[in-house]
Structure 1
Amino acid sequence: MDEYCLPRTQVPERLYRVQYDKSMTNDVEKGLTANNMQTFTEDTAKFGSAVENHINDYNDEGTSMFISTFASKAQAEDWMCRKWRSYGKGAQILEIETRHLGHGFVYRAGEVAQALELDTSYTTYDDLSSEYLILHFIPARAIVARRAKMVTPKLEDDASPAPSPQTGSISATVTEASTVTKKKPRNRSVVVAQYQCSEYSDNGSRETSIRSRR
């Protein structure tokens, strides 16, 4: 695993994590913890298999030793809108300052996939090229902001009917946006955003609008 770690100088200063209710990554008081906190291997084949399972989202029993993040906030927002059906109650975007990680086990997903010739059938080029995998743990001090929370409609046990796919869009309203620091830094704005995530059209295109106020 050490062989594929990025040097500190190549890790982006800020990464963006989509944290959602049914995620394999746990959001706890001490930070974000991967579902599998024990595994560490120097076997290249086992490492490659773990990365392949993670990026394609077919891990056995829903376990992974990695936490996915994006270098681009726009890509994180795009991923969040495309995956809204899987969330349960909702999702939010966390901003992570990598200088506070406390360890150097960060991997560029696309680079590892190319080097080890991994199967990338169940992900997209845009996701893979922006995705960074962090091993095991992200401490709370590294999470500098929680930018927005998107609440998805209940698809079951709801008195109102679920949105029809024919409508082409579904609104997701932000219910929470706050920084995680106890003392709010001077001049820091809290962004409240409303995400409107449209269904894909027949040609695969999708429009996503994001309105924000400070």
Structure 2
Amino acid sequence: MDAYVCFKSNVPDRLYRVNYPGSQTAFSRTTGFSASDTSKVYDNNELVEFKQAIEDQFTWSSRASSPFISLFSDREHAENWGCKEPWRGHEGPSNDWSLHVIDTTRLKDTNRFFKLKQLLEDLEVKIPDRACQHIGGAFLCLHRIPIQAIIEERNPEEVKKGKRKEQSVEFDYLAEYSGSEQEGMEENYSTIFEKNIENNW
């Protein structure tokens, strides 16, 4: 397993975690994030088990205990995924999730990180089609992320408010338009903005 650990220089200084109900990764405001299995380490002769654990990590139906914590490297992707609340299926939004920003510079000397894209290429692991959207930017952290490394937390309303603020900045570029023409351009921007959220979770 250690042969596939990311070099420190390849781990972004900021990674993002969406905490949501039903996740196997536990969160505590005193200790931080903990994988469901905080002791498992795969030896060189357990490559098959290591590959299976990676596949299970990105399979919704799997309830296998995991030593990994899934992380996003792109904040917008994490926010969009959280706003979609895919863990709720067809039940509709509940706004009971949170976005956490992790400062990995506090962890690179102590924690082991893995890049999903590299694991898939090196180990020829297959993950479900539904999870393929995460291949480019997903990282896995082994076992724990201490609370000291979590430097920011946002609830759903704060995340959405930030997105609305970004949208209003976009509308500043419409100052040259007026009246019905400006309203039409704003509507176009809103449609594009909502479509991006829908397609990029």
TM over 0.5: yes
1:138 offset after TM fit, Å? 0.1
Is residue 111 of structure 1 aligned with residue 118 of structure 2? yes
CA distance in 2, matches of 1:11, 1:135: 13
CA distance in 1, matches of 2:127, 2:86: 21
Aligned to 1:77: 79
Aligned to 1:15: 15
1:44 offset after TM fit, Å? 1.3
> Higher relative CO (CA 8 A, sep ≥ 6), structure 1 or 2?
2
Gaps of 5+ in 2: 165-193
Counterpart secondary structure, 2:124: coil
Q: 1:8, 1:104 within 8 Å by CA — same for their partners in 2? A: no
Larger of the two Rg values belongs to structure: 2
- Greater share of residues in strand: 1
Counterpart secondary structure, 1:133: strand
Q: 2:16, 2:78 within 8 Å by CA — same for their partners in 1? A: yes
1:194 offset after TM fit, Å? 6.5
Q: 1:14, 1:97 within 8 Å by CA — same for their partners in 2? A: yes
Counterpart secondary structure, 2:136: helix
Counterpart secondary structure, 1:45: helix
1:59 partner amino acid: S
Query: Which aligned segments of 4 or more residues in structure 1 are displaced greater than 6 angstroms?
Result: none
Q: 2:58, 2:128 within 8 Å by CA — same for their partners in 1? A: no
Q: 1:31, 1:138 within 8 Å by CA — same for their partners in 2? A: yes
CA distance in 2, matches of 1:11, 1:128: 15
| Distance change >3 Å, CA 136–CA 88, structure 1 → 2 | farther
Aligned to 1:26: 26
| Distance change >3 Å, CA 85–CA 8, structure 1 → 2 | closer
TM-score using structure 2 length: 0.71
Aligned to 1:159: none
1:141 offset after TM fit, Å? 0.6
Aligned length: 161
Deviation by residue 1:26-83 (Cα, 9 ceiling, x = unmatched): 111111101111211112111111011102234335x211101111001101221233
CA distance in 2, matches of 1:8, 1:69: 16
Aligned to 1:41: 42
Gaps of 5+ in 1: 151-173, 178-190, 197-204, 210-214
Aligned to 2:144: 137
1:139 offset after TM fit, Å? 0.5
Deviation by residue 1:149-186 (Cα, 9 ceiling, x = unmatched): 12xxxxxxxxxxxxxxxxxxxxxxx2xx6xxxxxxxxx
- The two structures, once aligned, show a CA RMSD in angstroms of 2.5
TM-score using structure 1 length: 0.67
CA distance in 2, matches of 1:120, 1:81: 23
Aligned to 2:134: 127
Counterpart secondary structure, 2:22: coil
- Greater share of residues in helix: 2
